[in-house]
A and B are shown apart, each in its own frame.
Chain A
């Protein structure tokens, strides 16, 4: 299902001539080209690599004895640590994007001390590794010479500063602009959308508003006119200014769709505990390596499913729930849980050049197990998706499925049907089973205590 070849160059890895990622026999390698020899040597021998890896800012790699994918250009082949799940900035909560931005700046500061500078500042180069934002592109480092400006400044502002400012000061949902603009939010657009009061914020005034103005004024100007040079002190000042501007941006998860979901549902404690117990029992029995919790809210059941062993991707549509979940991950120092933003009725598409740079939601699966707790009525009734299509979708998404059937008699479903015609004659327990049996084997079907809901354990066939 993935758009990535099992053997050969990865389709997102073509822009930088320093090297590229390729996979062979299911293992991910990075070819380092001769062109990048000086830089690679400096990274490895200056102690920078070691320092960054030690604090978890860079993924570690091994130099391996593998045949390069393109021999003539190759200096060596390295095998980076595999990231459990690749996620994208439009799937991150505010706090995740902010941490990714601060990680990038922290790396840049450390690199400068060792005579290197990041040559790109793409949000796609950051991934969440063991719960923390880390750089995954080992070839992002260039040699730094005093006088040089930061070549990645524009990219940093577009990928990080602009979306963060928009999320914090305008509307958190504006993170979705990143799904359209793969190279970050255009600064003139950000400048136009941000409240006028941001002109009084020195960081935003300079790095976004004046920056956007300068881009417009000097668009297409010759390289010759880019006179002047930049002292190390000036560059440090620039990086520190970006850092303090970003640190001051805050977004507090406030009024939410699900924020107090567990208080407003018709769950009794007994029903809630029974569900937890079933999820725990089934995950312990099946030991799935990776679980996707679809409609995870703030991750209560994700944590039950993970239990410290399975890696759980905890998806929810609500930015507040994802933010709360991420904050909890940080407090717990949880390295097995990744909260992400997702609208199941319109999951992340494949984007970028030839639609192959960033994988769709489905292409990053299938998961070993998925949880779909208290979501089926939202998909089948609010979004009118026929049960047979839901069965197809889930069968393509996961091997094992823990799904909760919420009948029409349930107060949550009654609410959904209160203001509309009931055009769902097959939305019954029997109808559900008939539709899902075509794609799944039913292993368990347990009525949840003190409720009318049924929890199923299904295996795709």
Chain B
């Protein structure tokens, strides 16, 4: 069990497991993107990582 403390809503066993699976896959993508932008950074290209703190609300 990885919740500390326990959530007050049941996240659901299936939802939990599929989430780990999908996230593992997508996390790899995030990691890949991060290294790609570091490589681009190394060659002097400015990264365009959007900063959620700066942008306006979504709607």
Contact = CB atoms under 8 A, between A and B. Distances in A.
Size class of the contact patch on chain A = 35 or more
Interface string A87-111: 0000000000001001101100110
A235 interface: yes
A165 B28 CA distance: 26
Contacts of A99: 58-59
Contact of B14 (A214, A234, A236): A214
Interface string A138-164: 000010010111111111010000000
Interface in A220-246: 220-226, 228-231, 233-238, 240-241
Interface in B1-38: 1-4, 7-9, 11-20, 22-31, 34
Contacts of A231: 27
Nearest to B16: A226
B8 A211 contact: no
Interface in A376-431: none
A190 to B, nearest CB: 13
A207 B22 contact: yes
B59 A102 contact: yes
A155 B27 CA distance: 21
A230 B15 contact: no
Given A119-B8, A153-B15, A55 B56 contact: yes
Contacts of B18: 206, 210-211, 213-215
Main secondary structure of the interface of B (DSSP, over half): helix
Contacts of A105: 58
B9 A152 contact: yes
A330 interface: yes
Contacts of A240: 26, 30
A215 B15 contact: yes
A16 B5 CA distance: 14
Contacts of A157: 15
B14 A149 contact: no
Nearest to B25: A237
Contacts of A237: 23, 25-30
A318 interface: no
A357 B32 CA distance: 45
Given A106-B58, A149-B23, A235-B23, 11 more contacts: A99-B59, A109-B52, A120-B9, A132-B57, A149-B2, A150-B19, A155-B9, A215-B12, A223-B1, A237-B30, A240-B30
17 contacts: A18-B8, A55-B57, A99-B58, A113-B52, A119-B9, A142-B7, A150-B19, A151-B7, A151-B9, A155-B9, A206-B22, A214-B17, A222-B13, A230-B23, A234-B26, A237-B25, A238-B23
Interface of A: 15-18, 51, 55-57, 99, 102-103, 105-106, 109-110, 113, 119-120, 132-133, 142, 145, 147-155, 157, 206-207, 210-211, 213-226, 228-231, 233-238, 240-241, 330
Closest 5 CB pairs between A and B?
A: A237-B26, A234-B27, A215-B14, A154-B15, A99-B59
Interface of B: 1-4, 7-9, 11-20, 22-31, 34, 52-53, 56-59
